[in-house]
Structure 1
Amino acid sequence: MISKTTIDNVFESARVEEVIGDFVLLKKSGSNYKGLSPFSDERTPSFMVSPVKQIWKDFSSGKGGNVVAFLMEHEHFTYPEAIKYLAKKYGIEVEETQQSNEEKEQANERESLYLVSEFAKDFFHNSLRKTEEGKAIGLSYFKERGFTDETIKTFELGFSPDRWDAFTGHAIKQGYKLEFLEKTGLTIVKEEKQFDRFKGRVMFPILSLSGRTLGFGGRILTSDKRAAKYLNSPESDIYHKSKVLYGIYHAKQSIAKEDNCYLVEGYTDVIQFHQTGIKNVVSSSGTALTADQIRLINRLTKNITLLFDGDAAGLRASLRGVDLILEQGMNVKICTFPEGEDPDSFAKANSLEDLSVYLEENARDFVNFKASLLASEAKSDPVKKADTIRDMVVSISKIPDVIKREVYIQECSRIMDISEEVLFNTLAQLLQKDKRDAGKKLPKPMGLEVFTPEKQAVKKVDVQFELERKIIELLLLYGNVEEDFEDLILEADEKGEIAFKPEVVKSRVFEKIFLDLQEDEIEFANDEFKELYYEIINTLNQEQGLQLDTFVNQLKPEKATAVTHILMEEEKYQLHDWDGKDIFVKDKKVTIAQMVSETILNLRRHLVAKKIDELSKEVKEQENTENQNNLQDIVDYITLKKVLSEKLNRVL
């Protein structure tokens, strides 16, 4: 168990915008920050972070909460792990009591896979640095590649001993279950035997965006032709190679800062670049580039530069990834190295300055690169040239931005010496075909169906739920604000008719709400809101104020999430940039008293209407002798509802 002092220190130090900024590219939007959702595929930002309230909300998926909730959602941390991650980030010492065996067993399976992977990473790294075999074989290999001790330590490189069960046997002795060793792919189990998957290989740990160990890449050092040169961890609950990029943990801050990501093919390419001084580089680890990998980069920057060997196979490989990148609305450049060189060897042979200059001077826009490559292949063959031009227009058609498409068509026209009109016509045909193909995959349009009343049924709004939610919102945002309220006292006039007599009273919002609800003996119907209501009232009453970030962080995770949804509901309107469209929204702070009064009046009116319905049902069910009293009550309640409606300017 982590001590309360540690948890309090973490919440005091952690800044939600800084932590989330490590995973999502955030841009200032008024007093908040916005960015692309890390939980869904989108091109328009719907993710909002509030530094003032120290909370976040993803309007596309509905998720939200404080800084710990983000780590639990995004990185699948447990609560203690999220606290430890933040403590490490902010240099806070973690005080905790020893876990019992029972508590260890309660860790879920996914967490067990992470623990096993972390243990394996440490085992392989220690084998490299502290065993004679590791130093003689593994360390010598890395030194030959030119890697320094600091680089080896940074990337936690390792060595798996050349024995059948060196790792497996040690892990089992340390209490790790064979079941989880097998599920991570670290151990292969066949019948009664088990042996190490990465026996005799140098090891490259593959980390998540937050630094958790997901899997491994292992390179064999012998000349055994029957064994694969590189071997990766198999797919598991924590490792999906199509969604992972090697080096992303070490590169994320540099990618966001430089607003560009260099994409290479291998582990050593990443490490050598990083050692030379260019840190905004990641690798697809030998697999074909996927949309998920591109979206991972898209959270940090809109710009990707593909780095490839100068050979034809490398150039062809670069083209296959270009269309995928363009489909995500990103900008892509391509840089190739001289023949016989790859990113690893070139970075090793050049200084940071020389490498930076080379990348800047040789990174070409995809249209120019593709045109020169395909044109050289087509040469003077008109058929091949036509295919080349069409191939380029296919790439341009993948770009979602209309203006970018037009600019690239103009550039293609200039380079290939063909009219823009022909290119635009070809583009239009391709776009139309894409629409038709997309239409075939979709279910039958709803507009062509014959609707029955049952199909047209719309989910009914729970009025009381919305009003109770609004009361919680008002208490959270304005609970301690003092306002002039127009109290409404029910009195009978000279004619005996009931009416409200206004009386202005100065009061704090929470006092006004509490007294009004208490006077009418109104109880919350929603249990979650009821608990929150009393927690907020007590806090405001005792502390004469409500520090939102502190209050949210002290709540249980499910309550904290509910409060976040309420607090961030209004922030979504910032995503639409109304001011930029010359639409200026009235500040809610100007109308606090009006909002409070209207919400309470609406709740009263709703409850009166419910009472009228209940009494009406009773009248239908009762004998005639019992109806008289209920009928009089209904008349009284209808009169009260009429008065409330007049005050709210509602038409009955």
Structure 2
Amino acid sequence: MFSDNTLEEIRARMNIVDLVGEYLPLKKSGTGFSGLCPFHKEKTPSFHVHPVKQVFHCFGCHKGGNVFTFLRLIEGISFPDAVRKLADKTGVRIEEESPRRQAGHQKGPTEPSRAQKALEWAAKYFHYLLTEVQVGSSTRAYLKGRGLSEHSINKFKLGLAPSGWHTLSELMQKRGFSMTELEQAGLAIPKSKGSGYYDRFRERLMFPIRDPKGQVIGFGARILTGEKDQPKYLNSPESSLFNKRLQLYGLYENQREIRLRGEAILVEGYMDVVGLFEKGVTNAIATMGTALTEEHCRSLRAQTKKVVTVFDPDAAGKDAWHRSVDIFMRAGMFAKDLELPDGLDPDEFVQKYSAEEFYKRCEAAPRQVTKLLREIATQGTLSEEQRGHWLERLTPVLVASRRLPDRALIWDSLALVLNVSVEMLKELSQGGPATRAAAANPPASQRPRRPAEPAKPQHNLDALDLQFFCAAVAAPELFLKSEAAEWLEGIRGETLRGYLAELHQTADPAALQSKLLGIQTRDSSTEFQEEVAQALLLETKDSASVFGTLLRRVQDRKREFQIRAISKQVRLSQRLGENDQAQLQLLEKLKNLRGGP
């Protein structure tokens, strides 16, 4: 593919000491240089570079070679890509082999497209505006306030899009780019009315997005103005160069540390990646504001098969890691999930504590599927509705886990927490009868009693739940004075639990009746309407006594639910072979609930 003359000229021009020095600090050692090896963890330098022989060698991991080998290993690229990169760096014109010698070889990649060249030019211009001219001073101050140094800004080549509707496009036209090329690059947008274009990115903090070779293929952009009608983050449009389902932000910039640590940390945003790097967490990546895909996993697998997800502690973050469990499994990756305390996001946590503490927590984080099992186990005895929900949600996990070496352990544990048979899970994973019976169709007790009137919900309400709801309605003063924590977990059904929580937020007894009327209007089930009507007719002198009695019964059941849940967690912990300390903590909770000595 490449002529011998080309390779020799590159070797002659590229000093290996200079190349290695771009990636790690070197110290003079005898006739050569030494440093900590970038390819394995070590505390004492065993990595040596020999300027005379123009080679490197590590006495720890035994990796070695010339400039081409080093660049290929450090950036995780192919030999042809390493040659092209070094040729560009040294100014060597690449000569291809003669047609006869090229026989049987594939053609090399074509010249970068004009759209890709436009993106490269724009990235350099954005970075220049941010770092070197007065117009970027306020944005530099903003980034400084966020704790970012010049080193991090330069590492990720952050930039600033200029103000004005045509500033960028007019400048790039003067540099020889056409408006069609700028549109193809996602930098310009055609006007909806009339002819002409306007700039896509204006007054935004720019995050260049690079492919595995380091080429700019798109941008993420954060708004810097107070325009409420504009999205906070804006990405380049989908194109032949840029596909959000394939790209992970930070993967190119942090690839060396990801390979060195053998693990990547998946966070939710660009600023999290840059902020973590600033504080010493140098192996973070993020998706482009979209859900994780199998294509993302394939991109990541080139660097590592281990990942720790660190999502925001809200409902969306919880749903994100739930959905990622089977995706990582199908990709053959080992995934853990880290939940940070006090609702902190990763950047805030590292700023408050340290990178060292963050990495310690990543090390101790549970495997995703283990965490999911614990989450189900904490719910104790599941209702038919809850079991159906989990069976349906876990079907992709079951399918994905069929080829895992510890499949039997995972399925046994799922059978334990869901209180179903392993045979049922097997059928579910194969799309057999269990899928239709347990997931697609609700249990018989959940089906409508009057199919001729599907508009009327039939909840098959738990007797104690319904009695407590009616007692609360009949004694609103006592109900509103009670603490929700006293009884909420003792309500078995989700429907009445939700109604009771809604009523308990009422400010006074009079307003409670109005809120109850709203619930009755929404819920037209016959059983519910009849029981509530009867409750409203209770004698006032009886309502306080009835409420007190039922409150104690619900509290007893809450304690029973907690005992069952913790007992299930103990069995799960034993089955998963977790450490004795974790089991002792659960047993201590169990003893306290049972009132034992």
TM-score, normalised by the number of residues in structure 2: 0.56
Please tell me the residue identity of whatever aligns with 2:90: E
The question of whether the paired residues in 1 share the 8 Å contact of 2:376 and 2:418 is answered with no
Residue 153 (1) aligns with residue 160 (2):
no
Matched with 1:317 is 320
2:354 aligns with 351
Q: 1:51 deviation in Å?
A: 10
CA contact (8 A) 1:110 1:237 kept: no
User: Closer, same or farther in 2 for the Cα pair 1:379/1:221, shift >3 Å?
Assistant: farther
Give the Cα–Cα distance (whole angstroms) in 2 for the partners of residues 217 and 277 of structure 1: 23
CA separation of 1:390 and 1:351: change in aligned 2, threshold 3 A: same
Tell me the alpha carbon deviations over residues 571-621 of structure 1, each in whole angstroms, 9 at most, x when there is no partner: xxxxxxxxxxxxxxxxxxxxxxxxxxxxxxxxxxxxxxxxxxxxxxxxxxx
CA distance in 2, matches of 1:289, 1:409: 24
Name 2:185's counterpart in structure 1. 184
Please show how residues 544-583 of structure 1 align to structure 2 within 5 Å: none
SS of equivalent residue, structure 2 residue 249: coil
Residue of structure 1 equivalent to 2:286:
283
The residue aligned with 1:253 is 256
**Partner in structure 2 of residue 425 of structure 1:** 424
Contact 2:169–2:198 (8 Å) recurs in 1? yes
- Distance of aligned partners of 1:123 and 1:11 in 2 relative to their CA distance in 1, 3 Å threshold: same
Aligned residue among 329, 332, 336 for 2:335: 332
Task: Pick the aligned partner of 1:218 from 213, 221, 228.
Answer: 221
The aligned amino acid for 1:112 is R
State the partner residue of 2:373. Answer: 371
Instruction: Give the aligned partner of residue 564 of structure 2.
Output: none
Report if the CA contact (8 A) 1:218-1:230 is conserved: yes
Q: CA deviation at 1:294?
A: 0.7
Q: Distance in 2 between matches of 1:333 and 1:14?
A: 42
Partner Cα distance (1:381, 1:3) in 2: 71
Does the CA contact (< 8 Å) of 1:3 and 1:96 recur in 2?
Answer: no
Structure 1 counterpart of 2:165: 164
Q: Which amino acid aligns with 2:204?
A: R
Q: Contact 2:415–2:425 at 8 Å: present in 1 too?
A: no
Structure 1 residue 320 displacement after superposition: 1.2
2:397 matched residue in structure 1: 395
Identity of aligned residues (%): 29
Query: 2:325 touches 2:369 (CA, 8 Å); kept in 1?
Result: no
1:49-88 matches, within 5 Å, as 83-87=83-87
CA distance in 2, matches of 1:368, 1:3: 54
Query: Which is bigger in relative contact order (C-alpha 8 A, separation at least 6)?
Result: 1
2:174 — aligned with what?
173
Give me the whole-angstrom Cα distance separating, in 1, the residues matched to 2:86 and 2:112. Answer: 21
In 1, the alpha carbon distance for the partners of 2:134 and 2:166 equals 18
Shift of 1:117: 0.8
1:504 paired residue number: none
SS at match of 1:185: coil
**Which whole-Å CA distance do the structure 2 matches of 1:318 and 1:403 have between them?**
22
Give CA-to-partner distance per residue, 1:241-279, whole Å, 9 cap, x none: 111110011222222222211111100111122222222
Check the 8 A contact 2:382/2:418 in 1, yes or no: no
Which residue does the alignment assign to 1:297? 300
Q: Which runs of 5+ in 1 are unaligned?
A: 28-49, 57-66, 98-106, 438-652
Give the Cα separation in 2 of the matches to 1:376 and 1:226: 43
Alignment of 1:79-158 (within 5 A): 83-87=83-87, 93-95=90-92, 110-136=112-138, 138-158=139-159
Amino acid at match of 1:93: T
Q: Which amino acid aligns with 2:241?
A: I
| Cα contact 1:250–1:279 (8 A) shared by 2 | no
Q: CA deviation at 1:127?
A: 0.6
Query: What CA distance in whole angstroms lies between the structure 2 residues aligned with 1:370 and 1:82?
Result: 43
Conserved in 1, the CA contact under 8 Å of 2:308 and 2:362?
Answer: no
CA offsets per residue over residues 131-178 of structure 1, 9 Å max, x none?
222112x21222222111100010000001111122111111112222
Residue 382 of structure 1 deviates from its aligned partner by 4.4
Please, which moves more after superposition, 293-302 or 6-15?
Answer: 6-15
AA matched with 2:221: G
Q: Matches of 1:280 and 1:385 in 2, distance apart?
A: 38
Over 3 Å counting, the alpha-carbon distance change for 1:3 and 1:201 in structure 2 is farther
Counterparts of 1:378 and 1:253 in 2: how far apart (Å)?
A: 44
Displacement, 1:348? 2.4
- C-alpha separation in 2, matches of 1:390 and 1:243: 28
Show CA shifts across 1:281-331 (max 9, x none). 211121111111111111222212111111122101111122111111221
CA distance in 2, matches of 1:110, 1:96: 16
Give yes or no for contact 1:166–1:196 (8 Å, CA) kept in 2: yes
Report the counterpart of residue 459 of structure 1 in structure 2.
Answer: none
Listed one character per residue, the Cα deviations across residues 439-458 of structure 1 (whole Å, up to 9, x for unaligned) are xxxxxxxxxxxxxxxxxxxx
In structure 2, the residue matched to 1:407 is: 409
Q: For the structure 1 residues 378 and 112, does the alpha-carbon distance in structure 2 shift closer, same or farther, using more than 3 Å as the test?
A: farther
Q: Does the 8 Å CA contact 2:188/2:200 hold for their aligned counterparts?
A: yes
Q: Please give the secondary structure, in 2, of the residue aligned with 1:279.
A: coil
Task: Measure the CA separation in 1 of the matches of 2:395 and 2:403.
Answer: 14
How far apart in 2 are the matches of 1:170 and 1:149?
26
SS in 2 for 1:219: strand
Q: 2 CA distance for matches of 1:320 and 1:378? A: 22
Aligned 8 A contact 1:263 1:304 in 2: yes
Separation in 2 of the partners of 1:410 and 1:257? 35
Matched with 1:342 is: 345
Alpha-carbon offset, residue 87 of structure 1: 4.5
| RMSD of aligned Cα (Å) | 4.0
Structure 2 CA distance for aligned equivalents of residues 246 and 239 of structure 1: 12
The answer to whether the 8 A contact 2:311-2:318 is kept is yes
| Equivalent residue runs for 1:523-542 within 5 Å | none
Distance 1:417 1:429 in 2: 13
- Give CA-to-partner distance per residue, 1:11-69, whole Å, 9 cap, x none: 68899xx99xx9xxx99xxxxxxxxxxxxxxxxxxxxxx999x999xxxxxxxxxx99x
Secondary structure at the counterpart of residue 356 of structure 1: helix
- Tell me if structure 2 keeps the 8 A contact 1:409–1:424: no
Between stretches 152-161 and 291-300, larger displacement belongs to 291-300
What secondary structure does 1:308 align onto? Answer: coil
Q: Does the 8 A contact of 1:156 with 1:204 survive in 2?
A: yes
Shift of 1:383: 3.0
Paired residues of 2:219 and 2:235 also in contact (CA < 8 A): yes
Aligned partner letter, 1:174: R
Q: Measure, in 2, the Cα distance between the counterparts of 1:302 and 1:96.
A: 37
Q: Aligned partners of 2:380, 2:168: CA distance in 1, in Å?
A: 54
- Partners of 2:195 and 2:332 lie apart in 1 by 52
Structure 2 CA distance for aligned equivalents of residues 296 and 303 of structure 1: 13
Pick closer, same or farther for the CA change 1:386–1:372 going to 2, 3 Å: farther
How many angstroms apart in 1 are the aligned matches of 2:392 and 2:272?
Answer: 33
CA-CA distance at 1:390 after TM superposition = 5.7
Change (3 A) 1:424 1:117: same
State the secondary structure of the residue aligned to 1:286: coil
Per the alignment, in what secondary structure is the counterpart of residue 152 of structure 1? helix
- 2:373·2:413 contact (CA, 8 Å) conserved in 1? no
1:296 and 1:409 mapped to 2: Cα distance? 29
Structure 2 segments unaligned to the other structure (5+ residues): 24-38, 41-62, 95-108, 437-597
In structure 2, relative to structure 1, the CA distance for the partners of 1:368 and 1:177 (3 Å cut) is: same
Task: Give the aligned length.
Answer: 373
Structure 1 residue 225: Cα displacement: 1.8
| One-letter identity of the residue aligned with 1:128 | L
Give, as a single letter, the amino acid of the residue that structure 1 aligns with 2:424. Answer: N
SS in 1 for 2:113: helix
* Structure 1: distance between partners of 2:113 and 2:8: 25
User: What displacement does 1:429 show?
Assistant: 3.8
Indicate how the Cα distance of structure 1 residues 86 and 369 shifts in structure 2: closer, same or farther if over 3 A, else same: same
Contact 1:245–1:282, Cα closer than 8 Å, also in 2: yes
